[in-house]
Structure 1
Amino acid sequence: MLQELIDEVLRIWVAGGTLMIPLAILGMVIYFALFEIIVYFGFNDYYNSNPDEWKHWVDEPDDATGRLGDIIQYAQHEVHSMEDVRDRMEEIRSSHLSRINSRIRFAAILVGTAPLTGLLGTVTGMLNTFYGLSNSAAGNTVDLVAGGISEALITTQTGLVLAIPGYIMLNIVKRRRDQMSAFCTQVEIMTLKRFEKGKIKA
């Protein structure tokens, strides 16, 4: 059963022509980039913290622990004005979200390239088909036409197979990025309120 699957994959790979190689490389780079972002969120999932817990930490920063604790303590340590709090939170956003945004843009470009690369395979496949038709006197006309059509369809399908899950994963990471950004805004608002009440000592 496994051998049959391997043989079928190899048959499709060969029928897809030379563009299957850049498509395979493109697919590996796309999903490496997307999984890297997902892993980053896994190690920085403080935006899913218990609201009661982190709100208590904003009021009592000495009790805060972990990555979120470091953020809360940094936002309140030796601040002299509300502008200082905003600057600290902007630094936190920049250190986390700018890195994520750059990777999302990179992954989005790659995902958008996949169907275009498949379309290029369609063009080359159709050119091979027309070449087969123009040499209709030759005995291998049917083989040339069939090979060209096969290449045209397989590369297009491969490009879409790479792109569709990629777009889904992009939406997932964008939603997590928005959650992280919204969480930072909540922490900033709570910290500013605490400073306004005079509970943060410079």
Structure 2
Amino acid sequence: MNLSELIILIKELFVAGGIVMPPLVLCVLLLWYGLGYRFWVMKTPKLMGVRDMLQYYQQHDDHPAKNIVAQAIKQGIALKKKGVRNLRRHLDAAFYAYEREIGKFSVLVRVVILISPLLGLLGTVIGMIETFDSLATMTLHSQSGGIAGGISQALFTTQMGLTVAIPGLLAHSILNRKQHQIEQDLAQVKDLLCHQTHSHHATQTKSHSQ
């Protein structure tokens, strides 16, 4: 398909969808931009458990971090080495940037998924109104397809709205599960680092008392 054929196809889609096609196309662009960004941020898989990753980066702190959890572990280890007071509060502040990053565009994607079928339904209602108005003046019978053709054209926008929403909903659900898993991993990193710090302080206190 060359460029001219693609332009003609897009024009036909806009004509078939009517007034709601521009916002539906905008929804498609926003939806897949948001999903693509979230996928890119969370795309690198975690190859080992959080405990193993923490132990690994404590022994090899010069190795690059390949995913968000690894980046958070390296930053947490750096804070622990500094000996900051109230490590939990510093970890919460440091990890907030990672939690915000993996949740970015989540609300936008959810809104687009919700409004796309409604836009499609609105286009169908508008198309049905135009169909029955044409039927009242008997102008629809002069067009190819008659009443069935007019109703088919009206239902096109509903089909488009569902075509946008259903794949987006599935991809959004998968990414949400991955986000939830990363959030759990980050919480586990905080717990492990704070537990190590408390254990280290307790050992030092016990040795000083002896």
Quick check: TM above 0.5?
A: yes
Q: Which residue of 1 aligns with 2:46?
A: 48
Counterpart CA distance in 1 for 2:160 and 2:79 is: 48
Structure 2: unaligned runs, 5 residues or longer: 205-210
Distance 1:166 1:187 in 2: 31
Deviation at 1:88, TM superposition (A): 2.3
Residue 29 of structure 1 aligns with an amino acid whose one-letter code is L
Shift of 1:114: 0.8
Q: Determine the C-alpha separation between the residues in 2 that align with 1:178 and 1:196.
A: 27
Give 4+ residue runs of structure 1 displaced > 6 Å after superposition: none
- 1:105-184 paired onto structure 2 within 5 Å: 105-136=107-138, 138=139, 140-141=140-141, 143=143, 145-146=147-148, 148-184=150-186
Corresponding residue of 1:187: 189
1:70-112 C-alpha deviation (Å, 9 max, x unpaired):
323234143444xx22112212331011233341011111111
CA distance in 2, matches of 1:169, 1:9: 25
TM-score for both structures, normalised by structure 2: 0.76
Q: What per-residue deviation string (whole Å, max 9, x for no partner) do you get for residues 139-182 of structure 1? A: x4353745541332110000000000100111111111111111
Secondary structure at the aligned position of 2:103 is classed as helix
Q: 1:70 to 1:148 in 2, by over 3 A?
A: same
Q: Is the counterpart of residue 25 in structure 1 residue 23 in structure 2? A: no
Instruction: State how far apart, in whole Å, the 2-side matches of 1:16 and 1:147 are.
Output: 13
Unaligned residue ranges in structure 1 (runs of 5+): none
Does the 8 A contact of 2:113 with 2:169 survive in 1? yes
Provide the aligned C-alpha RMSD in A.
2.9
Aligned length: 191
Q: CA deviation at 1:125?
A: 0.7
Structure 1 residue 192 displacement after superposition? 1.5
Deviation at 1:184, TM superposition (A): 0.7
In the TM superposition, residue 30 of structure 1 has moved relative to its aligned partner by 0.8
Query: What is the rounded CA distance, in whole Å, between the counterparts of 2:80 and 2:175 in structure 1?
Result: 29
**CA–CA distance in 2 between the matches of 1:194 and 1:184?**
15
State the 1:124 CA deviation: 0.5
Output aligned runs, 1:61-76, within 5 Å: 63=61, 65-67=63-65, 68=70, 69-76=73-80
